[in-house]
Structure 1
Amino acid sequence: MSYVPLVSAVLITFVIAALLLYRYGNWFRHHPIVTLSVLVAWYFSFIIIVIIPIDVSSTMYRQCLQEHRSGVHELDIDENMTMISMNSTEECEKPWSLIPERVLPRLWRVVYWTSQSLTWLILPLMQSYTKAGAFTVLGKLKTSLIDNAIYYGSYLLICIILLIYIALRPELELDGPRLKVIAVTASNTWGLFLLVLLLGYGLVEVPRSLWLMSKRGYRLRSLYFKASKLASEKSEAEENMDDVIYVLGELQVQIPDSHPLHVYLMTVLSKLPREEHERMARRRRTGSSSPNTLPSEKALIKVHTELIRALQRKRRTQTQWANLVEEIAWLEEVARNENSLDHVFRIHSDGELGFKPERPWWRSLYTPKIEWYWECAWKCYAFKALAVVFGVWSVFVVWSEVSFFNKEPVLSLFAKFVQLAKENYDYFSMEVISFLTISYLCICAYYTVFKIRILNLYYLAPHHQTDEYSLIFAGMLLCRLTPPLCLNFLGLIHLDSHITKKHGIEETAYTNIMGHMDVISIVSDGFNIYFPMAVLALCLATYYSLGARFLSLLGFQQFMVDDDITTDLVEEGKELVRRGSQTRLELLTNAEPMATDYSSGSRFSGNDPPRNIFDDI
């Protein structure tokens, strides 16, 4: 037995999670509590993905030992022969990553319940806390609880339904372990229903997007289209910010310095960046107001909340616009270099956007000639090859999802792969297949989330430009979707007895900690039938772009290749990007990063607006 694979996986996973958080978050501006909570959420979610393959190989080894012990026992009884001492461990090769049996259950217990506490209790409250406009801790917590009432209500509703179902079944006893199963089942049911929607879209859209990216000019046209829509949203965000600044200017006139609410007003005003203060000073009215027009504390809280949301929306759209224009600039450089006769990649500082785009950090690692071949010749074929690989993998997943409930014969391809590796004692291949499959399921699920961006409220921006609200949402989503996703994977490879209905098989340590849903047949039976049907139906709907066509009919224009409206929006976006090049330069030079927060900060100088969510208490 060796701890090296497990310890290495745990350490490497921590480094990856920390580097990702460093890339997207801002450790120096974000509150330490937020940074630590998000880091734990991301880290524990990644650990589940990495450790599940080790759990699978260890379970297959224990299953082999059990089968050999059972075979020896039957031989001694049936043939009435002299007892022969046989060591089953000599018949079964040990996995290279085998660890003591007690280790994984302890690890899963800590990881699973910590991540569940984060996703259902800590992170939702923290997320609402970041946007609460109250001026006291108690007021912010009260607002957070109210904001999460529907969210918690959906979870409690599932629990109540399961409790009623068990209460109506006299053969089922309601004890401590079953209550734990109800809690786990409610969480997994919530996650599985969401997982159906995400996988149904991602399994088709991920390989299709890669294939479309291989087409010359497609990516650039899609970004022009996106620029047209984003420009409208950016304009609305700026208008919304102007409205809030106007209201704040009125409040600054109405509330005298001696009034008790003036302290709260200063807390609200401290959220404004310096340039917004200057704008408000220019627009400030000099008239006085009567005492009857004094606002209430409730009105100040409302304005505070509106300011937090307006700042978050404005900074998000500014960051998206800056990143979008930068990507468009690079793709235009690639398009201009495609016609190069000497096959050397050159940067045109006098390009259409009027500035020299930033080059990737790896620019110095290879010559301009190699760069030309990669950007202008090889890259499209690499995308096509990757699209084919992902497309085949998606077909494997959909087929296995549709057929994994069929026990005899085994139709799930991943169950076949794992079983074949077990018969050959090829535990390394078994772990590689498990890791790649889980990783691909995660890619498809999370691609969907950050493609639709949930009404554009959340946005992960690199270079430390992601706000706390989006980071918390990402951590919450990872903790919520990863456990049911892994549960679904164990069903695909027939390692969950509530799926296969087989008795006497070894269970993974992960399943032993989570429990089984067999005690609640209404969930387990319904899941076996409707989950694969829903995934297949959503995949077909995505393949024929039914959702995009429906949204276009409702007025939410989507990027459709052969659509006149899309063509008009592409041309409009191209013109907007060209006209806004100078504005982009000013944003990159003067604008504050998106990662600044919307709360005041006593730890910062008076010249800087406050950053942290806990500092205005």
Structure 2
Amino acid sequence: MSGAALGLEIVFVFFLALFLLHRYGDFKKQHRLVIVGTLLAWYLCFLIVFILPLDVSTTIYNRCKHAAANSSPPESSNITGLYATATPVPSQHPCFKPWSYIPDGIMPIFWRVVYWTSQFLTWILLPFMQSYARSGGFSITGKIKTALIENAIYYGTYLLIFGAFLIYVAVNPHLHLEWNQLQTIGIAAANTWGLFLLVLLLGYGLVEIPRSYWNGAKKGYLLMKTYFKAAKLMTEKADAEETLEDVMEEVRKVNESIKYNHPLRKCVDTILKKCPVEYQEKMGRNMDDYEDFDEKRNAYPSEKSLVKLHKQVIYSVQRHRRTQVQWQILLEQAFYLEDVAKNETSGTCQFVHTFQSPEPENRFIQYFYNPTIEWYWECLLRPWFYRILAVVLSIFSVIVVWSECTFFSTTPVLSLFAVFIQLAEKTYNYIYIEIACFLSIFFLSICVYSTVFRIRVFNYYYLASHHQTDAYSLLFSGMLFCRLTPPLCLNFLGLTHMDSSISHQNTQPTAYTSIMGSMKVLSFIADGFYIYYPMLVVILCIATYFRIRKSGRILAEVRLKRT
């Protein structure tokens, strides 16, 4: 099994990232480079989350081997602190090789490739691809030029900060930094930025996820919330239709003014291809292809204005299509929740749909998920299942908050994550170690990633399911994942005391920590910001809890006014 678990997880994570991207993106209509860039960013970030537990179990085994090879009374008496209590005497507990053991030398290379590729994506390539995908240029050269201009300030800021830092090091006689230390400082800067955003998203997710499942058990609440979403989406849908009409009117005017033999006619044809089919047919019927253009008599739009119009067409068509699809999906959800409310008082224990589809989509599922099972699940079991799940998730949230506030304490060990890992380390129960690590880091990732999927910045960034996410939002999500995942994993290693900078023990670090380097080069970050800033998650959780309660009261007031 040497290295087999690593290979299986690499394949599994790839298909997981591909499945999620297929749910939000459109493989047929979006550019292939956008799909590949986003898929690679998501894939690398998910790899870090899934492979890190294997790195932890392998590190614990290597520590045991090192202790067994150097065990002697004088040396063992010099080992103090946390590692002395966590590592048992080899003669009493032999070092069992984990089932998922990864040979030496593989993990450092693996982490180095994954980390630096993700950092190249998030800081250099994906920002450029964002501007390229959002550009309204009609040629590859024009789009690249627009992307470079838009990112000039973005990249110039990096060069300015890095140049100022090099000047400071050069003029300071007390600083003699080597390449490895400069590399560590760069990693620390990126992780500090990511940790700043990570705590904000984590504080929201720790409260919102358990509460969403608790509210999911309330059928009346879900139905009223769906009505509220429908009213809001109806307004957005009407605005999208009005915007599309205005943009199509501008396209119609340009199409009528620029004739077949005009030099910019190719640009107009490119714009027409992006319009809906019904508008293309309408404009085609009103077009006289045999009328020549007269540059002296008519004032024609410039190429720059056509680029702007092209950009508006892409945005308005995407938004209109997204609102149309979301409207149909939201109506189906509302009808289904109304059916659930009606069937709760049914005495036949048979779930009856108001709008029954003529032919079932999957006969195999319909055979097992018949109306009787559907009634018991929707009307009886599902509310209790959601309540139990909400309680379990709330306990996990409390454990995370407690550990974030106490993980710096090594004597005594107060972080519950560290306590659980150390108990399993004493008996070398690698299965338990990997499961505990995976569940812990998976819960942290869900709290952070789900917040990324729920964030909506007006209409510029919005991850919409059912293949309705635009290229700009997909690339931006890839950037966020690449910036959040490394500090998330470092924070998890700190919670479990697997990071030597937290445990303050001279023990073998994990391969992931060794790639990150020693943060002692920047002691004010390692001993200050990384330790005390995560405590702010308590304040963020409290603020999120009371803000949600206020939103619930507002929703209740809206419900009373409507009734």
The TM-score with structure 2 as length reference comes to 0.89
Q: Secondary structure at the match of 1:405?
A: coil
- Could you give the per-residue CA deviations for residues 562-601 of structure 1, whole angstroms, max 9, x where no partner exists? 6434655x77xxxxxxxxxxxxxxxxxxxxxxxxxxxxxx
Residues 332 and 416 of structure 1, relative CA distance in 2, 3 Å threshold: same
Partner of 2:81: none
Match of 1:243 among 236, 242, 246: 246
Structure 1 residue runs without a partner (length 5+): 79-85, 550-557, 572-617
Residues 542 and 463 of structure 1, relative CA distance in 2, 3 Å threshold: closer
Partner of 1:324: 330
Q: Distance in 2 between matches of 1:63 and 1:76?
A: 13
Q: Distance in 1 between matches of 2:186 and 2:76?
A: 45
Kindly provide the amino acid, as one letter, of the partner of residue 488 in structure 1.
N
Tell me the CA shift for residue 154 of structure 1. Answer: 6.4
- Could you give the per-residue CA deviations for residues 158-196 of structure 1, whole angstroms, max 9, x where no partner exists? 656765776676544222112211221222122111111
Match of 1:230 among 209, 233, 242: 233
Match of 1:135 among 135, 138, 141: 138
Q: Distance in 2 between matches of 1:517 and 1:270?
A: 54
Q: Distance in 2 between matches of 1:141 and 1:422?
A: 53
Tell me the CA shift for residue 372 of structure 1. Answer: 0.5
Q: How does 1:164-563 map to 2 (within 5 A)?
A: 170-278=173-281, 280=283, 291=297, 293-349=299-355, 362-500=365-503, 502-545=504-547, 560=553, 563=556
Residues 288 and 565 of structure 1, relative CA distance in 2, 3 Å threshold: farther
Tell me the CA shift for residue 389 of structure 1. Answer: 0.5
Q: Secondary structure at the match of 1:199?
A: helix
Q: Secondary structure at the match of 1:545?
A: helix
Partner of 1:51: 51
Partner of 1:582: none
Residues 524 and 455 of structure 1, relative CA distance in 2, 3 Å threshold: farther
- Bigger mean CA offset, 147-156 vs 270-279: 147-156
Alpha-carbon contact 1:162-1:182 (below 8 Å) kept: no
Q: Secondary structure at the match of 2:458?
A: helix
Q: How does 1:72-221 map to 2 (within 5 A)?
A: 72=72, 74=74, 91-149=94-152, 151-152=154-155, 159=162, 170-221=173-224
- Could you give the per-residue CA deviations for residues 61-109 of structure 1, whole angstroms, max 9, x where no partner exists? 222233344441626999xxxxxxx987973222221121111111111
Q: Distance in 1 between matches of 2:441 and 2:480?
A: 16
Kindly provide the amino acid, as one letter, of the partner of residue 304 in structure 2.
K
Q: Distance in 2 between matches of 1:154 and 1:89?
A: 57
Instruction: Give the aligned CA root-mean-square deviation in angstroms.
Output: 3.1
Tell me the CA shift for residue 417 of structure 1. Answer: 0.7
Alpha-carbon contact 1:559-1:566 (below 8 Å) kept: no
- Bigger mean CA offset, 264-273 vs 254-263: 254-263
Structure 2 residue runs without a partner (length 5+): 79-88
Alpha-carbon contact 1:166-1:520 (below 8 Å) kept: no
Alpha-carbon contact 1:119-1:476 (below 8 Å) kept: yes
Tell me the CA shift for residue 130 of structure 1. Answer: 1.4
Kindly provide the amino acid, as one letter, of the partner of residue 429 in structure 1.
Y
Q: Does 1:11 align with 2:11?
A: yes
Alpha-carbon contact 1:316-1:459 (below 8 Å) kept: no
Partner of 1:598: none
Q: Distance in 2 between matches of 1:325 and 1:357?
A: 20
- Bigger mean CA offset, 361-370 vs 485-494: 361-370
Residues 515 and 458 of structure 1, relative CA distance in 2, 3 Å threshold: same
Kindly provide the amino acid, as one letter, of the partner of residue 524 in structure 1.
A
Tell me the CA shift for residue 283 of structure 1. Answer: 8.9
Residues 522 and 276 of structure 1, relative CA distance in 2, 3 Å threshold: farther
Residues 65 and 321 of structure 1, relative CA distance in 2, 3 Å threshold: same
Partner of 2:557: 564
- Could you give the per-residue CA deviations for residues 34-70 of structure 1, whole angstroms, max 9, x where no partner exists? 3322222222211111110000111112222333444
Q: Distance in 2 between matches of 1:317 and 1:491?
A: 43
Q: Distance in 2 between matches of 1:482 and 1:14?
A: 16
Q: Percent identity at matched positions?
A: 48
Q: Distance in 2 between matches of 1:452 and 1:317?
A: 17
